[in-house]
Each structure stands twice: as structure tokens, then as C-alpha cells.
């Protein structure tokens, strides 16, 4: 029987440097009997020759469209907007199962083409836990941009934080060095005091990453307020957030609760808060406990102004939806290693639970398409 072929496509989202398949995991799959095609890419954090050295076959960028139908197409972010039917099985973050904007247009492409979407967000073990996630590095990067933004407000008041370019940081250590340099210039302008930071969701993977970034950058643990379910159970808004310099939200909610902050709560006298980083980043979700923004920020424009009344300093929002690209090397390697056991089972996907569950969810969501009944 011919080996199962995985085709790693090039990402098209601007500054998306991550990949679900690294040279290390490519070699592991090749050793397990798979055939791997890797599209050439100048934007991916790993070089083409690293994949070639691992044994993969390099193919032209965008060639997945014409790949044999039995090839499994791997990517990270959703495909560009189009109406062309999709005939392959795709492994990616589809961002269409929660009825996000244009969800039906995207999902219907698979239904019309006879393809299948194995949405990475819905690859789960029997207990329902996701098999792979970027949570830790999303938190790390969200804290990193927040610290850069806070420092910039002090050193360059009234000037928006310029582009934060992931290509400037080949490694996590390079990013931490840059943050330390920024803080060394800003802290003396803050009465020699480090920023006071509140992390909500501090005990989860995302929150752990945020706290670790702050500590790595030299922020004393005494300046980091770590909150989780116990501290937020009473319901917001919380005055402790307004009294902090930086607020990092690492909680995603599927049910509505009293918001952690509101424009009214941040308009009260004495506010110190300057930077809000919503790592969970879902501006259109009515359950978002940080209802201060309606659009995403980007690496090109990393902060958005938050307009409130009161006597506090200027305040900005960070809502970048692919934060782990800032630490693409480490984030990709960690994620791909978590995904690897499931990928090794792709040659028996009709019998392996993780893929059966993912296809069942796909079929259920297709039934929700307008006009499908």
C-alpha cells in the first residue's frame, strides 16, 4: 500500500511564521513511513533546506491546490477568502465552527468540494482535552507586547507603539533581551518602579506563559498579581485592574459573566492602567469579559487606543490574533511535538479516535449551514 502523503502548505497570513510541522517532526513522520511534501516558503520560521535535510520533498508554493486528492493538506491558519470548492482533507485552524464572520462561506467550500476540515482546535482526546495548543506561547507573546507598549508609553509619550516585527526576534531569548532593554529605559521614568501587572487566568497554560515572560524580563514576582477563578468568582468590574499598570487577560469564556472591566470602571479617578493585552482576543464575542474593543490589532499596528474619561494616563489595547508568531520557533516546535502522536495515526484515521471525533464535528457543523436541511 502506498504511504500516506502529507502536504505542508505555505501560510498566506501576513507575518504568520509558525508551522504545524517542523523539520524535527517531519523526520519523525518520515521514519514512521509517511511521505512529506513541503511547499517552499520565505515566511516560515524554518528554512526550506532544513526540511530537505530531514528528507522531505520540496514543492512549489501554492501547489497544494493541484495535489492528488488523497493528499492530506496541512496548514496553520485558514485559507484566503475564496469560493472555490475544496476537495482535500485539510488540517488547520478553520475559525468557522463558532459561526465567526463568513463562517458559512468558508465551511461550505469543503461541503461543496467533498473535502474534510480537521480543525486543529477540535482535535481532542477521549476526555475532550485538546491534543495540541499554542496557549503558553500566546501568553508569553501577549505579555511581551504589553511590556514593550508600557515602556514605549513612558519613553515616547503620545506616540503609538511602532510595528513589532516577529522577524526581528529569531528566538525567545532575543525577544526577552529586547524587552529588558526597553524596560531599562522606561523604569527610571516611573520613579524607578517596575510595572505592576495583573494576569487573569494565571494558572492556565496561557497565564503561565504570560507570567514567565514577565519574570524573564526582570519584573519582580512581587509586582505580578496572579488571578484565576477564585479571585474572579465574585464578578467584576475589579478595581485591582484599574490600579495596575498592565492587565493581561488569559481567559476565554463560552458563557457570559460580569465583565472584568468596563469603560465606566476605567473612568473612575486614580486609574493607573495603561496597557490591556487580551490574549484570548475575541472582539466580536458577546461573552468577552474585556468589552473595550471591536477590532483586532496587528503586528504592524500593535496597539489600539482605548477612549475613556477620567484623569488616568493614555490607555491602549493589544488584540493580535496570532501572537505566538512572535516566538515562532519555540511555539512551532512545542505545538508540533504535541500534535505528532495524532499525526502518526493519520494512516488509520478512519479508526483512530482523534480523527473520527474531528470528522464527526465537521459533519455536525456542515449540517448547520444555511439551506443544508
Which residues form the catalytic set?
Answer: 77, 95
Question: Hey, what's the cell of 224?
Answer: 505580578
Positive or negative, the Cα torsion across 59, 63, 66, 70?
positive
Question: Hey, what's the cell of 241?
Answer: 485592574
End-to-end Cα, the chain, rounded Å = 38
Residue 153 phi, psi dihedral angles, 5° rounding: -60, -35
Q: 237: cis peptide before it, omega within 30°?
A: yes
Between CA 85 and CA 106 the distance in angstroms is 9
Between CA 14 and CA 20 the distance in angstroms is 17
Residues 6+ apart with CB under 8 A from 169: 175, 178, 326, 327
Alpha helices (runs of H) in the chain, residue ranges in sequence order: 23-31, 48-54, 103-113, 135-155, 172-186, 205-216, 229-232, 239-242, 328-343, 353-367
Between CA 193 and CA 199 the distance in angstroms is 18
CB 74 within 8 A of CB 34: no
Alpha helices (runs of H) in 187-313, residue ranges in sequence order: 205-216, 229-232, 239-242
Between CA 243 and CA 259 the distance in angstroms is 16
Q: Which residues of 23-59 are buried (b: 16+ CB within 10 A; e: fewer)?
A: bebbbbbbeeebbbbbbbbebbbbebebbeebebeeb
Counts of helices then strands in the chain (DSSP H, E): 10, 12
For residue 199, list its beta bridge partners: 226, 248
Amino acid at each position: 500500500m502506498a504511504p500516506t502523503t502529507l502536504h505542508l502548505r505555505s501560510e498566506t497570513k501576513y507575518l504568520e511564521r509558525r508551522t504545524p510541522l517542523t523539520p524535527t517532526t517531519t523526520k519523525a513522520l518520515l521514519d514512521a513511513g509517511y511521505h512529506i511534501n513541503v511547499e517552499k516558503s520565505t515566511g516560515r520560521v524554518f528554512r526550506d533546506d532544513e526540511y530537505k535535510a530531514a528528507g522531505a520533498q520540496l514543492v512549489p508554493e501554492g501547489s497544494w491546490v493541484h495535489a492528488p486528492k488523497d493528499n492530506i493538506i496541512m496548514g496553520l491558519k485558514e485559507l484566503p477568502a475564496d469560493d472555490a470548492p475544496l476537495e482535500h482533507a485539510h488540517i488547520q485552524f478553520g475559525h468557522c465552527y463558532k459561526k465567526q464572520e463568513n463562517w458559512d462561506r468558508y465551511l461550505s467550500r469543503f461541503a461543496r468540494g467533498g473535502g474534510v476540515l480537521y480543525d486543529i482546535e477540535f482535535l481532542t482526546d477521549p476526555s475532550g482535552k485538546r491534543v495540541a495548543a499554542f496557549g503558553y506561547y500566546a501568553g508569553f507573546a501577549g505579555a511581551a507586547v504589553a511590556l514593550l507598549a508600557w515602556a514605549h508609553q513612558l519613553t515616547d509619550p503620545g506616540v503609538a507603539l511602532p510595528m513589532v516585527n516577529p522577524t526581528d526576534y529569531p528566538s525567545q531569548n532575543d525577544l526577552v533581551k529586547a524587552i529588558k532593554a526597553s524596560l531599562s529605559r522606561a523604569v527610571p521614568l516611573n520613579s524607578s518602579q517596575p510595572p505592576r501587572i495583573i494576569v487573569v487566568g494565571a494558572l492556565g497554560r496561557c497565564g503561565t506563559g504570560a507570567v514567565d515572560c514577565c519574570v524573564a524580563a526582570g519584573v519582580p514576582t512581587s509586582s505580578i498579581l496572579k488571578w484565576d477563578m477564585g479571585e474572579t468568582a465574585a464578578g467584576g468590574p475589579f478595581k485591582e485592574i484599574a490600579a495596575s499598570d498592565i492587565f493581561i487577560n488569559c481567559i476565554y469564556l463560552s458563557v457570559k459573566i460580569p465583565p472584568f472591566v468596563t469603560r465606566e470602571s476605567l473612568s473612575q479617578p486614580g486609574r493607573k492602567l495603561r496597557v490591556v493585552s487580551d490574549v484570548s482576543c475575541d472582539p466580536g464575542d458577546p461573552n468577552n469579559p474585556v468589552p473595550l474593543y471591536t477590532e483586532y490589532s496587528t503586528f504592524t499596528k500593535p496597539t489600539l487606543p482605548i477612549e475613556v474619561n477620567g484623569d488616568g494616563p493614555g490607555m491602549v489595547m493589544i488584540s493580535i490574533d496570532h501572537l505566538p508568531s512572535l516566538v515562532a520557533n519555540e511555539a512551532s516546535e512545542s505545538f508540533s511535538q504535541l500534535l505528532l502522536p495524532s499525526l502518526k495515526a493519520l494512516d488509520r484515521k478512519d479508526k483512530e479516535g482523534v480523527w473520527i471525533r474531528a470528522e464527526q464535528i465537521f459533519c455536525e457543523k456542515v449540517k448547520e449551514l444555511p439551506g443544508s436541511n
